[in-house]
Amino acid sequence: MTRLNLLCAAAVAAVAMPLAAETHSVEPGESAQERLQEALILAQPGDEVVLGAGRYDLSDGLSLDVDGVTVRGAGMDETVLDFTGQQGSGEGLLVTSDNVTLRDFALENPKGDGVKSKGADNIVYHRVRVTWTDGPDANNGAYGIYPVESTGVLVDGSKVSGASDAGIYVGQSRDITVRNSIAEANVAGIEIENSRNALVENNIVTRNTGGILVFDLPDLPVMGGGNVVVRQNLVVANDTANFAPPGNIVASVRRGTGVLVMANDKVLVENNIFDNNPTSHVMVIAYTQPFEDERYNPHAREVVIGQNLFGRGGDDPQLDGAEMLLAAFGGALPPVMWDGVAEGESGLVVVPGIAGWTLNLAEPGQDLATAQPGPLQVPAPENEFDMSGIGAPAELENRLK
């Protein structure tokens, strides 16, 4: 017993003491749920949980609550966490710890959201795929990649399709980069909501109802969204009929919207390629619903539309009076649509040479029937857009190697 006890003491000490990073390997097969979840629980800061190639049949949501852990698969087409048979939890994977890296694996058919990271600062999603395999369907989960209430978010090389709300959704967060990713056949491709300092660049957003949405909503713990840059994205053929369950804000997004800016402060839309977005390539509007939250500003403020490449679009708008509008504008609406609602002089500026139209509304929430559509005449940007502080912290890059 003495020798055993000595061994025990050593073992307990070893468990308690921080050691060099370790690898916890998990392979698919029987009891994958328990083995994978156990690895996520027993991992220590700095450790890697490595998921071998193959398909993991999972019955419940997974969760990670240890700081500094990397979860690494064998590739987004090789390691597949299959939640088709999920019986519980509101998401496939929940992360609640800081400095986590998720990379090179996929989730399929989670019953609720795909990966949710809440209060998880400095998180990296790298080459993560979330797919609802039946395509657009109101019964699919809401969000594919879902960081919320976090500071420092980098989503890179990821891919989401089929989300009944937003493919890549960043909410109530700061210091964000979403790039090099593909969002296809979701209601909203990429959504930046109630967040600040976000850079959305080099993504492909296609076949969604709306491509890229930048929103601020009332009655949330974190508000005051702004400092958002949307650049160098391919925003093409976002023409899927809206399949969001009514009640959600995105259910009101018109099929064929390229980039939508609503109730936000300092947003730059520049150097994107837009094509075949049948309602409007770019739409800038105030929040339209009644609200009582005194902290909330419903206006779009200081929105800058820089140079972009606009192809065909606005030719089949999902708008009341579409026929009359098309007739008035010669068969297709100009690429930039504004509701005309400005707070003082600080509404919208557009570089010369880009055509637009406005509803000429005066107040947030004003009845659309009172709109007086006409050509857009707004000033050109005077100052360079202030990029300082926008995007994920540079040190997150180091984890992409």
Residues that bind another protein (CB under 8 A): 1, 4-5, 7-8, 10-12, 14-16, 19, 22-24, 33-35, 37-38, 40-42, 44, 59-60, 63-65, 86-90, 94, 96, 110-113, 118-119, 138-143, 146, 148-149, 164-165, 169, 171-172, 217, 219-222, 245-249, 289, 292
Buried-exposed string 106-130: b where 16+ CB fall within 10 A, e elsewhere:
bbbbbbbbbbbbbebbbbbbbbbbb
187 vs 267, beta carbon nearer another protein? 187
- Dist. CA 62–CA 82, nearest whole Å: 12
221 vs 330, beta carbon nearer another protein? 221
95 vs 283, beta carbon nearer another protein? 95
Q: Are 257 and 187 a contacting pair, CB within 8 Å? A: no
Q: At 106, list the tokens.
A: 């996929």
- How close are the terminal C-alpha atoms of the chain, in Å? 48
- Dist. CA 257–CA 24, nearest whole Å: 44
Which contiguous run of DSSP H or E holds residue 6? helix 2-16
148 vs 155, beta carbon nearer another protein? 148
In 10 A of CB 308, how many CB atoms? 24
Tell the smallest beta-carbon distance from residue 261 to another protein (Å): 19
Closest to 160 in 3D by CA, of 120, 133, 195: 133
Tell the smallest beta-carbon distance from residue 194 to another protein (Å): 9
Tell the smallest beta-carbon distance from residue 113 to another protein (Å): 7
Residue 395 half-sphere exposure, CB side, CA atoms within 13 Å?
6
Tell the smallest beta-carbon distance from residue 136 to another protein (Å): 13
61 vs 317, beta carbon nearer another protein? 61
Closest to 265 in 3D by CA, of 343, 338, 378: 343
Please provide residue 34's backbone torsions phi and psi, each rounded to the nearest 5 degrees.
-70, -45
244 vs 269, beta carbon nearer another protein? 244
112 vs 211, beta carbon nearer another protein? 112
Residue 282, strand partner residues: 259, 336
- Dist. CA 170–CA 379, nearest whole Å: 31
Tell the smallest beta-carbon distance from residue 171 to another protein (Å): 6
Tell the smallest beta-carbon distance from residue 38 to another protein (Å): 4
Tell the smallest beta-carbon distance from residue 271 to another protein (Å): 31
97 vs 272, beta carbon nearer another protein? 97
Tell the smallest beta-carbon distance from residue 349 to another protein (Å): 31
Please provide residue 140's backbone torsions phi and psi, each rounded to the nearest 5 degrees.
-70, 160
